[in-house]
Chains A and B, each alone.
Chain A
Amino acid sequence: MKEPQIIVIGNGMVGYKFCEKLRSKTSSFNLIVFGEEPRRAYDRVHLSEYFNGKTADDLSLSTENWYQEQNITLFLNNPVTKIDRDLQKVYTANGLDYSYDILVFATGSGAFVPNIPGIEKEGVFVYRTIEDLDLISSYAKKAKTASVIGGGLLGLEAAKALIDLGIEKTSIIEFAPRLMPRQIDAAGSDMLKSKLADLGLQIHLNKNTTSIEGDGRITALKFSDDTALDVDMLVISAGIKPRDELAKACGIEVGPRGGIVVDEKMQTNDPAVFAIGECALYDGMIYGLIAPGYEMAEVLAANLCEGEKTFTGFDMSTKLKLIGIDVASFGDNFIAEPDCRTIIFENKHKGVYKRINVSNDGQYLLGGILIGDATAYNLLLQTSNNKIVLPEDPAELILGARGGSESAGGAGITGLPDSALICSCEGVSKGDICSTVADGSCENIDDLKKCTKAGTGCGGCLPMVKDLMTYTLKSQGKYIKNVICEHFNYSRQELFDLIHIHELKSYDEVLDVLGKNDGCEVCKPLVSSLLASLWNEMILKKGNDVAQDSNDRFLANIQKGGSYSVVPRVPGGEITPDKLIVIGEVAKKYNLYTKITGGQRIDMFGAHLNDLPIIWEELIAAGFESGHAYGKGLRTVKSCVGSTWCRFGLHDSVSFAIRIEERYRGIRAPHKFKSAVSGCIRECAEAQSKDFGIIATEKGWNLYVCGNGGSKPQHALLLATDLDSETCIKYIDRFLMFYIRTADPLTRTATWLNKMEGGIDYLRNVIINDSLGMATQWENEIENLIASYKCEWKEAVENPAIRKRFSHFVNAPEDKDPTIEFVEMRGQKRTAEWKTV
C-alpha cells in the first residue's frame, strides 16, 4: 500500500519541529516540505545573535543531511503558489505539482507593515529573516541614525541589532503609551525606558508616524503631533501578520484580522488541512511565541499517529534579555486590585522593577512582571503554574529572604512536583529531567539537552534545568550513601513510600518485594520501625520479633551484663503516691535497682529476661503502661508544675504535657524524640532542649522544634507563637509526620533540620503554610497511629506465644541466665563490671 503523503508548507522553526516530532513517532508517511527561504530552518528566536558573530549555520536547527536521513523531501527556495483542494494538489514556483493526503500550513508570519506614506522608500526594512538582516547590515554601514517603529519585544531586539551594527543614534517609536505593551505595565515601562536611555537609545512613546520623508531614500519621519525626526534608516517592527494568503486563496477559513482558523486538533475547516505555529488562529488568538508553536507541532504529530492530543491555549509567559536588561512577564501579569493584591518592588538606583500579583487570600501567585532582575523568573513561573502555596510573606519571593537561613532556590526546586513543566518549549517536566539525570545517562548540561531536549527552545529554562541537574546529582551522591544496606537499594524515605504503596506488613514481605538476600542488623530494625510508623501493629507479631532491635524485641533495654530495665510511662512526670508505692514494691520484690530518670520517671534496672512478663503484669494491674524507653519513639513529655501550683505559671503545663504524651505515646520514628512543656518563660521544663518544646505565653503557647541535648546540644527554634492548644497540637502532628516520613535512619530532629535545605524557614512554610500540600494527609496518618495505640506490654503478657519468648534457655525455660552477676553499692545492687580478659 502506498504511504499517505503529507505536505508541509513552510520550513520555519515550527515546520521543522513538526517533522522532527512526526519522525520520532513514525517512519510511515511520505513527508514533503516546501520552504520559501533559501536555507534550512533556523533559530529565529536568537536571530539577533547573527550580528554577534553567529553564522547562519550556527543558527540552523538541523544538519545538512538531517532531512535525507529522516527520509523527508525538502524543497528550498520553492514556495507553494497555489493549492487545489478538490484535487488535493499543491503547485509550486518551479512549475511542478504534488498531491497530498494531508496538508500542513506552517507558513508562520511576516512583519506587519503599517500603511504609512513613503513606506516603500529605500532604507526602510523589516526584521524577520536572515536575508532581512543581511540587507540591514549592509545599509547600516552608511547610516548614522536609525529608528525602529514598534516598542514591542521584536522592536527592542531590532534596536539592539542596530546598536550592535554601530549606528550612533538609534531611537524607538511606539504608538502606545508604554514599551512592550503586551508584557509590562506603565511602571515597568518607565523603568525599562530609563535603562534603555542609559544605553543611548531614545524612546518616543505615544508617537503616531504619519509619513516617511525623503527623495527615494528615507531622510526623516513625521508624526501626528507635527514633530519630525531625521533618520537614515528605519526598521519596521510593528507586529506580525500571519501568512494566511495561500490558505485564504484556496477557501480555507481565516480570521477577520488574519490567521488560519484551527480547532484544538489544529484542523482547519478542510479535514485534510491543518495549520500550526504563527499562521494558525486558535480561539481568536495568534500565538507569537515559540513554545506554543512547538506544542501545536506536537499535537498534530501525535494525532497523525493516532494519539489523542489537543491544544488548549498556552502560557504566554516570557523572559528575555534585551540589551543586557532582563525583562520577564508571567501568568496573569496585568491583573490588578481588587481582583488580587499586588506587591511592587522598585529600585531606581539599580533599575529594578518587580511586581507580583497575589490572590486575595494570599495563597497563590497569579502573575507578575520583572524588569532589570529576572533571576527569580523560573521559580516564580513554576510557583504560579503549579499553584504552589506562597510563604507567609510573599514579598520574600521578589526580595529574597533577609537575614534568614532560607536558600529559596534550593527549597523552591525541591518543592516542585515532578509534573512541573520546566521547559515549556519542549514540554519537559521536572520528573523527566530528574529521572534522566538519576539513571546516569546524562552528567552535564549538554548531554541533558540532547537527551531530554530541555532548554533547546528559547533557553529561558536553562538555569532551572541546571539547578535540577545539580540537585539530582547531589541527591544522588547522597543517595548512594543513603542506601540502607546491601539488601535494600533505597533510602529510608523511599522505602517508607514503597512499603506504604505495596502495603507490606512484615519484614519478610518487605525483603521479598523490595530487597534481596537475607537482610541484616541494619535493615531489619529500620524496616521494623517503618512498619510500626506506617501500620502501628504489635511489633512482636510472629516473624517480626526477630527483625526488631534487641531492645524492641524484648520491650526492654538490655543493660550491661545481660539484664533488662523496666520503665513504665509516667505522663508529664505526674504520679500518685499509690503508684509510687507500687513501683517501690515491684522493685523490692524483683530486686531491682531504682533511679529517677532525666525524663521525670522511674527506671528499674537488673531484671532477668524471664522476670519481665511477670513484672509488667503487676505494673499493668496497677494501671501502668509501657514507657517505650526501649523504642525509637516518644520518650517523655517533661513538665514544670505550671499554673496549678506555681505563682508564676501562666497555663496548666502539666495537663498539656500529659495530653501530648498520651497523644504520641508508642508512635515509632527514625529516632527517639522528647518533649517538654513549661508553664512560663522561666522554662523550668527545659522545653528548648527538646525535639519539640512548648512554653506558655500570655496568649497561648509558643512552639519550639528540633532542639537536642545529647552530645551536640542545640537550642530548639521557634516555629510559631501564641498558639491555642488545638493549633499547637495540629502543628506538632504535621511536624512529627514530616519527620517520620523524611528523616534518615537514626537521625534526631535537630540533625534532620540541620540537613534540611532552607532550614527553619522552609520547615515553617511546610508546617504552617502547608507548602507541600501534605498537611491533611499527615494529620490523618497520625490520627490513625493514635487511634491504633495499644500498650505493647499488655499485649505481650496476654499473648502466650509472645510471652514464651521471655526465657533465657529454650531447653530449660524456668532457669535464669546464671552468668548475670550483681554487686552491692549504696544499699542497692548494681551490675558487675565487664568481664574483660
Chain B
Amino acid sequence: MNEQSNWLAACRVEDAIENGGVCVKHGEDQIALFYFTRRNEWYATQNECPHKKQMALSRGMIGSTTDEPKVACPFHKKTFSLSTGECLSGDECAIKTYPVKVENGTVYIGTTPKS
C-alpha cells in the first residue's frame, strides 16, 4: 500500500486531452497523464517507453483489450496496461504507474509510483 505524501498538481482538467495523453514535467522526470474520458478514468505512467527509451507514451493512442485499459507507444506500437503497467505485447519490462486524483478541477499525480 502506497501512502502518497507528494501530490504533483499536473494541470487543470480542461488542459488534459480527452481520450488521450499529455506529458507532465516533474523535475527531470516525465510522466504521461491520460484522461480516459470514455471510461471516466484517469491514469498516469512513466512517459518513457522501455522498448527504445523514447519519451513518447503520452503521445500514444489509448484504448482497451478485453477490459484492460492500455496505451500504445507511437514508435513501434508496444502496448502497456494503464492500470498495472504490464507490457501487453512482447516482453518489454513493465512501466511505472502513478495514482491520479482530481480536486476542484485540478489533476494531481501521486509521485510515488504504484508499481
Contacts and interface: CB of A to CB of B under 8 A. Distances in A.
Interface of A: 486-487, 508, 517-521, 523-525, 543, 545-547, 549-551, 553-554, 558, 560-562, 805, 808-812, 815, 817-820, 834-837
25 contacts: A487-B63, A518-B36, A518-B38, A518-B63, A519-B64, A520-B72, A521-B60, A521-B63, A521-B77, A523-B63, A524-B61, A524-B63, A545-B17, A546-B61, A549-B74, A550-B59, A550-B61, A551-B74, A561-B54, A562-B54, A810-B15, A815-B25, A817-B23, A820-B55, A834-B52
Q: Lowest 5 CB-CB distances: which A-B pairs, in order?
A: A550-B74, A520-B63, A546-B20, A521-B72, A810-B22
Given A486-B66, A518-B38, A545-B20, A811 B61 contact: no
Interface in B1-19: 10-11, 15-19
Interface string B24-66: 1100101001001011000000000000111110011111111
A809 B60 contact: no
A816 to B, nearest CB: 11
Contacts of A547: 19, 61
A547 to B, nearest CB: 7
Given A520-B70, A808-B23, A809-B25, A558 B61 contact: no
A486 B65 contact: yes
The secondary structure that dominates the B interface is: strand
Contacts of B10: 810-811
Contact of A811 (B11, B38, B65): B11
B99 interface: no
A520 B30 CA distance: 24
Contacts of B74: 549-551, 558
A805 B17 CA distance: 9
Contacts of A834: 52-53
Nearest to B20: A546
A518 B79 contact: no
Contacts of A546: 17-20, 61-62
Given A508-B38, A810-B24, A520 B61 contact: yes
Interface in B68-113: 69-70, 72, 74-75, 77, 79
Contacts of A820: 55
Contacts of A549: 61, 74
A545 B62 CA distance: 12
How many interface residues does chain B have, given as a range?
35 or more
Contacts of A487: 63
Contacts of B23: 808-810, 817
A127 B5 CA distance: 101
Contacts of A560: 52
A818 B15 CA distance: 21
Interface of B: 10-11, 15-20, 22-25, 28, 30, 33, 36, 38-39, 52-56, 59-67, 69-70, 72, 74-75, 77, 79
Given A486-B65, A517-B67, A810 B33 contact: yes
Given A520-B72, A521-B72, A562-B55, A810 B11 contact: yes
Given A518-B62, A523-B63, A817-B55, 15 more contacts: A517-B64, A517-B67, A518-B64, A520-B65, A521-B60, A521-B72, A521-B79, A524-B61, A543-B18, A546-B61, A562-B54, A562-B55, A810-B24, A817-B30, A836-B52
A508 B61 CA distance: 14
A487 B38 CA distance: 14
Contact of B19 (A543, A808, A836): A543
A834 B61 CA distance: 22
A518 to B, nearest CB: 4
B66 A819 contact: no
Nearest to B9: A811
Contacts of A521: 60-61, 63, 72, 77, 79
Select the residue from B16, B23, B67 with max chain A CB neighbours within 10 A. Answer: B23
A487 B52 CA distance: 28
A485 to B, nearest CB: 9
Contacts of B66: 486
Contacts of A808: 23
A837 B19 CA distance: 31
Contacts of B62: 518, 546
B68 to A, nearest CB: 10
Given A810-B33, A811-B11, A562 B17 contact: no
A481 B62 CA distance: 23
Contact of B64 (A508, A520, A545, A551): A520
B16 to A, nearest CB: 7
A817 B66 CA distance: 34
Contact of B25 (A517, A558, A561, A812): A812
B104 to A, nearest CB: 17
Given A545-B20, A810-B11, A835-B52, A554 B59 contact: yes
Contacts of B61: 520-521, 524-525, 546-547, 549-550
Contacts of A551: 74
A819 B11 contact: no
Contacts of B39: 518
Contact of A836 (B17, B36, B53, B64): B53
Given A518-B39, A835-B53, A836-B53, A810 B20 contact: no
Nearest to A810: B22
Contacts of B72: 520-521
Select the residue from A517, A546, A553, A836 with max chain B CB neighbours within 10 A. Answer: A546
A467 B10 CA distance: 62
A618 B78 CA distance: 35
